[in-house]
Amino acid sequence: MSAAMDDAALAAHLAETAGRILLTVRDSGLFAGKALGKAGDQVANQFLIDALREQRPDDGILSEESKDTPERLAKSRVWIVDPLDGTREYGEGRVDWAVHVALAIDGVARVGAVALPGLDGGVVLATDRAGPLPAAASRPRLAVSRTRPAQEALAVAESLGAELVPMGSAGAKAMAVVRGEVDIYLHSGGQYEWDSAAPAAVALAHGLHASRIDGAPLVYNQRDVAMPDLLICRKEMAESLVAACRNPDTKGRDE
């Protein structure tokens, strides 16, 4: 790989390659269940960290699977990665898991790629590969957790008459909006920066809305990496969704 590869191309290449590594680990037949998830997390993380240190030695790194250090806080450019988003789905042999690679510049997720390796042939959605959005459905569709749908999301769906679409990881749900499989991804049960940085960057590049559920901007490379909530949706829906989230009947509920 050339060191001159631009940031967006690098993010996409890293996410795609990490996804292939994860498939190889799963297809080896040497691990199962939680052991498979642990092995996948560790192998994919090691690859991403080593590759970023080689390709972008002056940048900071924040990864779910590496010990955080304060050095990144002094960096303008920080890579934020989730080597395996949806460990449970990966370990169960499902397709709704993802790899996240994002670059935050001065706190804003400017560059990102989300790989969905489990889909046929593998799919990578990235900030430099934006295309037109598919047409919206006549009835709004809202992606929710297949195991623990957030009560706030359920209440908002009820208020809008939206169809619920259960699926796995955060990246899979966010990319379902980009791919036109759903119209809304609303999460209020607690996340971290690595859960949303790449999905938000990709969503914004595709012309979608991405924010906190109260409409506040998403700010990254913070000392506290908790990112409790997330809203990704079509722009024309954003105002009504934020208003619904502020409704006392829905505000403040968790998964």
How confident is the model over 62-120, as pLDDT tens digits? Answer: 999 999 999 999 999 999 999 999 999 999 999 999 999 999 999 999 999 999 999 98
* Other beta carbons less than 10 A from residue 196's beta carbon: 31
Percent pLDDT > 70 in the chain is 95
Tokens of 250: 């829905």
C-alpha to C-alpha distance for 156 and 153, rounded to whole angstroms:
5
Q: What is the CATH architecture of 141-245?
A: 3-Layer(aba) Sandwich (3.40)
Is 229 marked as binding a ligand? no
Tokens of 161: 């008459």
pLDDT tens digit sequence for 169-224:
999 999 999 999 999 999 988 899 999 999 999 999 999 999 999 999 999 999 99
Is 96 marked as binding a ligand? no
Question: How is 172-206 classified by DSSP, letter by letter?
Answer: HHHHHHHTTS-SEEEE-S--BHHHHHHHHHHHHHT
Is 195 marked as binding a ligand? yes
Domain extent listing, the chain: 7-126, 141-245
Q: Which amino acid is at 4?
A: A
What's the whole-model pTM score?
A: 0.93
Is 84 marked as binding a ligand? yes
The CATH T-level fold of domain 7-126 is Fructose-1,6-Bisphosphatase; Chain A, domain 1 (3.30.540)
